[in-house]
Amino acid sequence: MTLMTSTDPGPSGSLRIAPSVLAADFGELAAAVATVTPASDWLHVDVMDGHFVPNISIGPPVVSSLRRHTDLFLDCHLMITDPGEYLEAFAKAGADGVTVHAEVDGVETVLAEARALGLRVGLAVNPDSPFEAVDPYLEAVDLVLCMTVFPGFGGQSFMPEVLPKIRQVRQAIADRGLSVDLEVDGGIDATTTPLVTEAGANVLVAGSAVFGAADPAMAARGLRDAAVPMAAG
């Protein structure tokens, strides 16, 4: 069964700002999304199962609700032990892309199943997992997500020790001539944005730095302004 999505993710490699709704006011989620939409390219949706990570967040019903209120690309990060069990539900709910973790079992099969559903496919890697965890799958994905905090909770501090791995991923993408986006998530703000974009990241996930600001749209624009020029092209 193929469920083709329609939202354009934009040109691969271009700079994209992806506010994380995990940091938004869930009681006013549609309104919160509306505030950042003019300054954003994607919406990042953190899905946690309380097993792969020590927290529980949201699932397909919230994605379905978001889809009714926004045309932004819905970038769903599945921090769950059995992502393959839920791919079709997320596709039906309106997800445009799903990112699964290199640390779960059966990665190759899950990536293929997501692709078959018409989803854009991503692979995430935790801060303590090496470049080699994603290297075999680079040709099979549209996106690599380098976590710059350990997944499970928002508001954590950026881990600069991940920067060399970001550079490794970007170099491998370039060396193989691949059209693969490089996303970062965790402690991303106006201070850390120059660091990760200089290292090669082009998709910036930010939660507290955007939705925790007095003016979320201005905060999102601030990330775009802080990115080094080489990542914006």
The candidate with the shortest Cα–Cα distance to 120, out of 227, 42, 185, is: 42
Check residue 4 and give its pLDDT: 42
Residue 133 has pLDDT above 70, yes or no: yes
Q: pLDDT tens digits for 190-224?
A: 999 999 999 999 999 999 999 999 999 999 999 99
pLDDT at 153 over 90: no
Which whole number is the average pLDDT over 73-97? 96
pLDDT at 48: 87
In angstroms, the CA 55 to CA 210 distance is 21
* Res. 62 pLDDT band, cuts 50 70 90: very high
Instruction: Give the pLDDT of residue 231.
Output: 42
Closest CA to 169 of 138, 142, 129: 138
Query: 208 or 53: which carries more pLDDT confidence?
Result: 208
Residue 6 has pLDDT above 70, yes or no: no
Which pLDDT score, from 0 to 100, does residue 154 have?
A: 65
Q: Which residue has the higher pLDDT, 46 or 229?
A: 46
Contacts 24+ apart (CB under 8 A), 5-10: 5/91, 5/94, 5/95, 5/96, 5/97, 5/118, 5/119, 5/120, 7/71, 7/72, 7/73, 7/74, 7/96, 8/73, 9/42, 9/73, 9/96, 9/97, 9/120, 9/142, 9/181, 10/41, 10/73
Q: Is the pLDDT of residue 5 over 50?
A: no
86-116 tens-digit pLDDT = 999 999 999 999 999 999 999 999 999 999 9
For residue 162, the 8-state DSSP code is: G
% the chain with pLDDT above 70? 94
User: Per-residue pLDDT tens for 157-203?
Assistant: 899 999 999 999 999 999 999 999 999 999 999 999 999 999 999 99
Would you name the residues annotated as active-site residues?
Answer: 46, 185
Question: What pLDDT, on a 0 to 100 scale, did the predictor assign at position 230?
Answer: 57
% of the chain beyond a pLDDT of 90: 83
Domains within the chain, CATH numbers bracketed: 16-232 (3.20.20.70)
Q: pTM here?
A: 0.92
